[in-house]
Chains A and B, each alone.
Chain A
Amino acid sequence: MNEFAEETIHPDLQQNIRRLREISDNTSDLMVNEFLLSGIPAALLTCEGMVATSIITELILEPITHVQLSAPTAQTVFSHIQNRLLLSLDRSEAKNYRDLFRFLNSGFAVLILHGASSALVFGVQGYDKRAVMEPSGESNIMGARDGLIEVVRINMSLLRRRMKTPFLKMELFPVGDKTQTDLCLCYMHDRVPQKLVREIRERLQSTELESVLSTGYLQPFLENRRGNLFDTVSTTQRPDVLCAKLLEGRVGILIDGVPYAMIVPKLFSESFQTMDDYCFRPYYTTCIRWIKYLAFLITLLLPALYVAVALHHPELLNRTLLLLLAQSEENAPLSLTAEAIGVLLIYEIIREAGLRLPKAVGGSVSIVAGLIIGDAAVSSGLISTPILTVTAIAVISGFVLPDLNQPLTLLRLGMILAGGLWGLFGISLVGAAVLFNLCAGESFGMPSTAPIAPFRRKSMRDVLTRVSFRKMQSGHFTVEEYHE
């Protein structure tokens, strides 16, 4: 903890300014404007680049300089400003240096007066921010086009625009010793169990993090056990998705500076649901959902099954396929397992390269990878065509479930290794371990495998199928129903 955290604001203006400069080590972006306010020495502190200069001039400096009281003291001037002048909608008071700096560095203008042991703060933020635009990571066809941005207050407004109910509650509090990042806990206070909110709040407030720069910093504090392969906290870039989740009694966490919202708890079955599912017709959505389940199995198991069956149980393969495989493998220099793992590793390298490189160069990576390496590797006989095809199908299937990309990438490799070493026996063993790992996932008492395990027949209407809203409108569902 910083030594100035609880230090109260010094009443002597010059000493106060000296102390402020001392704490901030004469940082260049601290702007101190000294002037007389009704004859009392005062200073308006701002952080350069964080405030809108025109607003300060018009709405604060202009009215303040006209304040003339008959017997001015620091208290009467403060009281006058607070009670008679409506300089900003977002007003507050800082009692100590920690709060003062937090406000200052959040884009507030801070007014200090000689003789006052507190400071008045006015919200006049005017920093540059990204416009609200379509989320890049969660595209959809029929859903809304706006996405969360880096400014927590804008994100709050995006949420509020969709949820006009007074039951939507948003709690702002800072986390991170150094960054003092604003977190916003959002929930429907008529739907969410209070115990869940309390527990989340306590966990977030009890973190000893210095900084919170992305969702990953907080995620471990919201998970119940280590060693989970699958996330029990979900993230979204879409305010409409966040609203839907809040209506189901979940808690959302917005982080200032992060264009993602975290949602607790997360169910595994949600990885297969998108906003579009609720825009299309139910029969189509049901079909697409089953295709996604199939894609999950394909991306996880197809290369492993292929290797296991080809090496250990060729009698399971179709005759034509087996002969095709035998012919194409005739001149391959590597073992089938090594080939499969190699192709997957190369794919991961290419993917990472495509992601990290500048967009202009990123495109050429896929050309080099797909056309040059892929074609050359097959025609030179380094890699057989069937294994390349199988891996490509598995990888493409994985694109259907971006949420599960991380665990699937690792599990796919593990499955291939197990399948190559021990055939279907190995796949089954690893599969059993993964199944148990998945079932062990729990978020604040809510099992992530719900509503499949524990099984809830009623919930199958949005898991195995997607029934129409005529049926779904009745019986407001909340995740609390899954609590064990």
Chain B
Amino acid sequence: MRKIFAVLFSICTLLCTGCSKSVTEVRDRIYIQGAKLGGSPTLTELTLYPFEETGTPISGEGLTMAAAIEETAVQSGKAVFMGHLELLCFDRASFTDSMQECMEEYRLSPACKLLYLHETELPEGIDTTLLTDQLRQEEENGRIPETDLFHVLSECAGDDGAALVPVLSEEGFGVGLLQNGEFLGTLSSHAVQGLCWLRGENYPRRISVAGNDRMVNYEVHSAQTELSAEIQNGIPHVTVTLRLRGSGNSEAAKRLIKAACSIAAEETVKEMHADVIGLDACLRKDCPKYYAQHDFETAKFAAVFDVVVTAS
């Protein structure tokens, strides 16, 4: 019996050694830190930015993204490894359709940052590390909502397919909305601030509010956002409850946050008809009967928002 096992195992081993994908050595890979996708619907242009230590930027193009990656691999003479990709820039909103496939195929990290290039190009010789760090700092300081690959994919898979992405335009960093492969537009800075509060993922650590004679800081210690909904006269009424703990002029802070949240809801839900604040999930959870009976896709954008901010 044991001999049979030994023979079987040896055969399997030999078979597998021959049949398995040839192993790519560490030195035979190029490790990509940033990538830029562009081109037209029929031709994908790709620029890869390896980590400084492992190579210089390489460009390639192909009919599909896979073909473009192949081209870059040929140019660099090494296998392309994108598992450590930290920044993915793209200038066509339709690229979001193939993002999930990319994530599985190229083992992209869900924490990879996305950056939409709106009518602009990445400057020659750009430092992708700096760009990524700047984006990260924007998020960490609560200046833009969390918008990594996972968040964008998750939002794109929602009913209305709207997703929030950081945007780089000639004016600098901003946040825009993509929906079903279309770029809807850039949001105002107030709306972006409001989205940080509404989405409840990364709150600012500090906000500048008016003091007696000058602007002062309101330090945010912790915050919690809760969305609830009810149907009144056939219209969904959404209450956003924000519980703040902080130090400073809380009244001014409450006013500022309330205004920002209202602007955010107005710009995204009312004007752009895009749900990036979890409205759909909230309405499904709180008003399931109404949801089943009505054309909610239209109804939810008619929702009335009420922002309640409490501070302690």
Contact = CB atoms under 8 A, between A and B. Distances in A.
B23 A420 contact: yes
B53 interface: yes
Nearest to A319: B84
A332 interface: yes
Interface string B9-37: 00001001100100111110101000000
A337 to B, nearest CB: 8
Interface in B174-217: none
Interface in A302-346: 310-312, 314-315, 319, 322-323, 325-327, 329-332, 335-337
A315 B104 CA distance: 12
B291 interface: no
Contacts of A421: 13, 16-17, 20, 23
A422 interface: yes
A311 B25 contact: yes
Contacts of A310: 26
Contacts of A323: 31, 51, 53-54
A326 B33 CA distance: 14
B31 A326 contact: yes
A139 B76 CA distance: 56
Given A314-B81, A319-B84, A323-B53, A329 B27 contact: yes
Nearest to A324: B53
B16 A422 contact: yes
A323 B81 CA distance: 12
A329 B26 contact: yes
Contacts of B81: 314
B224 interface: no
Given A323-B53, A421-B16, A227 B26 contact: no
A227 to B, nearest CB: 7
Contacts of B225: none
Interface in A367-387: none
B107 interface: yes
A161 to B, nearest CB: 46
Nearest to A310: B26
Contact of B107 (A315, A319, A337, A422): A315
B53 A327 contact: yes
Contact of B84 (A312, A314, A325): A314
Interface in A56-104: none
B16 A332 contact: no
Given A323-B54, A326-B53, A336-B26, A227 B20 contact: no
A331 B20 CA distance: 25
A184 B29 CA distance: 63
Contact of B25 (A315, A329, A422): A329
B3 interface: no
A326 B27 CA distance: 6
Interface residues of B, number: 20
B109 interface: yes
Contacts of B54: 323, 326-327
Interface string B105-138: 0010100000000000000000000000000000
A322 B31 contact: yes
Contacts of A322: 31, 84
A325 to B, nearest CB: 6
Contacts of B84: 314-315, 319, 322
A335 B25 contact: yes
Contacts of A420: 23
| Interface residue SS majority, chain B | loop
A209 to B, nearest CB: 25
Most buried by A among B16, B17, B53, B81: B53
A325 B23 CA distance: 16
A260 B27 CA distance: 50
The A interface is mostly helix, strand or loop, or mixed, namely helix
A20 to B, nearest CB: 49
Contact of A326 (B17, B26, B107): B26
Contacts of B16: 421-422
A322 B2 CA distance: 41
B27 A312 contact: no
A336 B83 CA distance: 19
Interface string B64-86: 00000000000000000101100
A227 B2 contact: yes
A310 B84 CA distance: 13
Interface string A98-123: 00000000000000000000000000
Contacts of B13: 421
B310 to A, nearest CB: 41
A336 B24 CA distance: 10
B27 A332 contact: yes
Interface string B245-284: 0000000000000000000000000000000000000000
B9 to A, nearest CB: 9
A315 B26 contact: no
B31 A335 contact: no
A364 B200 CA distance: 65
A311 B27 contact: no
B109 A311 contact: no
Nearest to B108: A315
A335 B29 contact: no
Nearest to A331: B27
A315 B2 contact: no
Contacts of B83: 314-315
A311 B26 CA distance: 6
Interface in B41-56: 51, 53-54
Nearest to B81: A314
A312 to B, nearest CB: 7
B31 A336 contact: no
A324 B2 CA distance: 44
A420 B84 CA distance: 21
A46 B266 CA distance: 112
B30 to A, nearest CB: 9
A323 B27 CA distance: 10
B153 to A, nearest CB: 17
Contacts of B2: 227
A325 B16 CA distance: 27
Contacts of A332: 27
Given A227-B2, A315-B84, A325 B26 contact: yes
B132 to A, nearest CB: 11
Given A314-B83, A421-B17, A326 B29 contact: yes
B2 to A, nearest CB: 7
Contacts of B25: 311, 329, 335-336
Interface string B133-166: 0000000000000000000000000000000000
A405 B13 CA distance: 26
Q: Which of B23, B26, B29 has the most CB of A within 10 A?
A: B26
8 contacts: A312-B23, A315-B107, A315-B109, A323-B54, A325-B26, A326-B54, A336-B26, A421-B20
5 nearest A-B residue pairs (beta carbon): A315-B83, A329-B26, A329-B27, A323-B53, A315-B107
Given A319-B84, A322-B31, A326-B53, 15 more contacts: A311-B25, A315-B83, A315-B84, A315-B107, A323-B53, A326-B27, A327-B53, A327-B54, A329-B26, A329-B27, A336-B25, A336-B26, A420-B23, A421-B13, A422-B20
